[in-house]
Amino acid sequence: MLIPDAKNQSLLSLTLLFGLFCLSLNVEALVDRSLTTVNQIEIMQGDFNEILASGKLRILVQRDYSRVSYLPRKPSPLAEQLAVAEAFASSHGLRPELVLVSSFAKLIPALEAGKGDIIVANLTINDQRLKKISFSVPVDHVKEMIVVSKNNDSIKTVADLNGKKVMVNVGSTFWHALQWLKKNKYPAIDILSAPDHTNREQLLDILVTGDIDATIMDDNLVDIFESYRNDIKVAINFSSQRNIGWGIRKNAVQLVSEINRYLQLEHAVDEKRNIFSGDFDLIKKRKTLRVLLRNNSASYFLYRGELMGFEYEIISEFARFHNLRLKVIVPPGHDDFYDWLIDGKADLAMGFLEALDSRRAQSVEFTQPYHFASRHIIVHRDNKTKSIEDLNRQVLAVRLNSSENLSLAKLQQNGANLNIRSVDDSIEIEQLIQQVGDKTYDATLADEHLLEIALADSQPVRSALKLETEAAHSIAIKKKNIKLQTALNKFIKKTYKGEYYNVLYAKYFKNKGSVKRLAKGRIVDTLEGQISPFDKLIKKYSNRYGYDWRLITAQMYQESGFDPKAKSPAGAIGLMQLMPRTALSVGVDNMNDPAGNIKGGVKYLSWLRDRFDSELPIGERLWFSLAAYNAGLGHVQDARRLTKELGLNNKKWFGNTENAMLLLSKREYSSKARYGYVNGREPVKYVSEIKERFEAYIDMSGSL
């Protein structure tokens, strides 16, 4: 039996601590993972679809991760980030695979070479790295600290590094910053590269022996080491607050999108709240109505940054009437409507659904109809089809699990000889109509309102014949939600064929000018950057300051509707509605210049984000900083103090601090607030609508 030396005993102890900490966390994602080295990994450089096909997410980590990931007293931020990355993988049915890289400097080259999919390594987001790789939104904020041995009092300013030995990892932000200082200010700095395989603990050991004078580390890691070591100390801050993110390959656009969705919209929410079962009284108590909609020209789409759609506007009116926040969820396929509804992922589903008995057998119920439509066999305008008999040798395409398919099956039962081609459930009927127009298929079956959209859009199709039966469309809910069904039926009875309904119907289906205008301005692919005329600038500054570009776009629409000449009565100017004093503080000279206005707005939002204490969860900082952008930082801090007094959680915005913000418009509360009265409805509405639009931009990425 081999007896380990002291170094190996230390490693063995830390490995045991690693295992114990995994058990204490009870993180399922940590159980089913594999471990390999970068030299053993196969090259794969695809985007998210290829990753899904592979069944695994390859996470690049520095080889020493296990030695510092789980240490006594405090969990490491690296361990926490890794747990989140593994949870993200598990949420998509992927197995996490940790890929060990020998040194920090080799992480980005390994990512670029296709040896991994993401980097989790306390990686600072900066312009130099953004030229090589993409980043997730920030997962943490850090300050860089100059660390010295406990008895070293010779370093009190950055200038004191001149003539000193400083050891850091090659390729790190510390390395580049020191190189700049050496070249431009302090030429006598002796910059030493940390040897390969030297972990952070060993680097500190070298420090306290006196072989070097200082090293530099992020404060979230220094905090861990100081919790159990008394032989080191922080000499001075080396930098202001910086953003930490996960590194992602430049070409993996969809992976960036999915990770950002998870970090900002899913991981930030209590997972138990994503699955919810309850009738209308509990929905009103929760103040959020979750609706399943499909992204198409009839139900729900983006028009030059604005959320639109016939069904979307109908259910939005219902939500407004009951003072509910609307959360739209876009499922991947039509058949997912019912599975997701039954599972409690949504409260209702809309998509011009028919009340079928087969669905009622699955614990689904329906409201009374809110829409009726004739059904048409649609062919190319050059197609001479006039009867069912003419379709005998033609390919008629419909979705497999659709009411249209059932209608055609009835025709077959009555003797029609039809050549039906079943297509994937994720295909929209409007896509099938387009494919008939380009002669991919000979015919399809569609409701009249979809035919009207196609004709108004000048597509080369026509109705060959109209079926005798009419389709009745209803809202789907869970069978036991009787109160919700009653409320919806009451709303439909009041609204159907009324003035509001008729205006909407004409806007989306009847008025050719309106339909054509909506078709022309409809956003087809938000992932490639078609939301606004300023996407390129938004992406540039969002990346620089660590934001998902679609969030900034959603905020910009809220501020100015994409109008660079917008001016508010209060004097706010431009796309991001900067006030003159704010613009001056962030270095913007010309507020009318779109580039300067966007840069100033994003920089100011970043400044606000950094004003909140480190105890505020990273995901929540987003909503708090948006509220501060609208109402001012002081009023948000007042709201946080009041939230705590009310016994609510002042580290959460939705359902907690936003409630306190509303109270600050009442004298009994504002009179005791440091910054006094604020119209709390404005920031609450502001944050809520930006979140809804941001979710829509993400949900529609890569969709029709």
pLDDT tens per residue, range 5-16: 433 434 333 333
Pairing, β 419-423 against β 306-308: unpaired
pLDDT digits (tens, 9 = 90+) for 176-220: 999 999 999 999 999 999 987 788 888 999 999 999 999 999 888
Mean predicted confidence (pLDDT) in 536-547:
89
The whole-angstrom separation of Cα 443 and Cα 697 is 32
Q: Minimum mean pLDDT among 284-293, 528-537, 602-611: which range?
A: 528-537
User: Which pLDDT value is given to residue 487?
Assistant: 98
Q: With 70 as the cut, is the pLDDT of residue 33 above it?
A: no
pLDDT digits (tens, 9 = 90+) for 380-390: 999 999 988 89
Task: List, in sequence order, the alpha helices (H) in 210-362.
Answer: 219-226, 253-261, 271-274, 280-286, 310-321, 336-343, 357-360
Which residues lie below 8 Å from residue 143, measured CB to CB, with a gap of 6+?
218, 219, 237, 238, 239, 240, 241, 242
User: Which pLDDT value is given to residue 272?
Assistant: 42
Q: At residue 417, what is the residue type?
A: N
Contact, 179 vs 156, CB < 8 A? no
In CATH terms, the fold of domain 144-239 is D-Maltodextrin-Binding Protein; domain 2 (3.40.190)
Q: Which two tokens stand for residue 81?
A: 């980030």
The whole-angstrom separation of Cα 561 and Cα 5 is 67
Its pTM stands at 0.74
DSSP label at residue 296: B
Which residues lie below 8 Å from residue 591, measured CB to CB, with a gap of 6+?
573, 574, 578, 580, 583, 597, 600
**Set 428, 559, 620, 658: catalytic member:** 559
Q: How many CB atoms lie within 10 A of CB 633?
A: 17
Establish whether domains 144-239 and 535-609 are of one fold. Answer: no
Mean predicted confidence (pLDDT) in 220-232:
87
**Which CATH class name applies to 6-137+245-264?**
alpha beta
To the nearest whole percent, how much of the chain has pLDDT over 90? Answer: 60
Sign of CA dihedral 693, 694, 699, 701: positive
Contact, 164 vs 155, CB < 8 A? yes
**DSSP letters along 561-626, please?**
TT-TT-B-TT--BTTTTB-HHHHHHTT-S-TTSHHHHHHHHHHHHHHHHTTS-TTS-HHHHHHHHH
- How sure is the predictor about 703, in pLDDT bands with cuts at 50, 70 and 90? very low
Among the ranges 35-44, 251-260, 534-543, 644-653, which has the highest mean pLDDT value? 644-653
To the nearest whole percent, how much of the chain has pLDDT over 70? Answer: 91
The whole-angstrom separation of Cα 378 and Cα 466 is 9
Kindly report the average pLDDT of the chain as a whole number. 87
**Which CATH class name applies to 535-609?**
mainly alpha
| Residue 233 bridge partners (DSSP) | 148
User: Which pLDDT value is given to residue 11?
Assistant: 38
Contact, 263 vs 139, CB < 8 A? yes
Annotated domain spans of the chain = 6-137+245-264, 144-239, 535-609, 618-699
Mean predicted confidence (pLDDT) in 527-535:
77
Q: With 80 as the cut, is the pLDDT of residue 37 above it?
A: no
Q: Which two tokens stand for residue 634?
A: 């002081």
pLDDT digits (tens, 9 = 90+) for 485-511: 999 999 999 999 999 999 999 999 988
User: Which pLDDT value is given to residue 73?
Assistant: 46
Q: With 90 as the cut, is the pLDDT of residue 276 above it?
A: no
The whole-angstrom separation of Cα 291 and Cα 521 is 24
- How sure is the predictor about 2, in pLDDT bands with cuts at 50, 70 and 90? very low
Specify whether 559 is catalytic.
yes
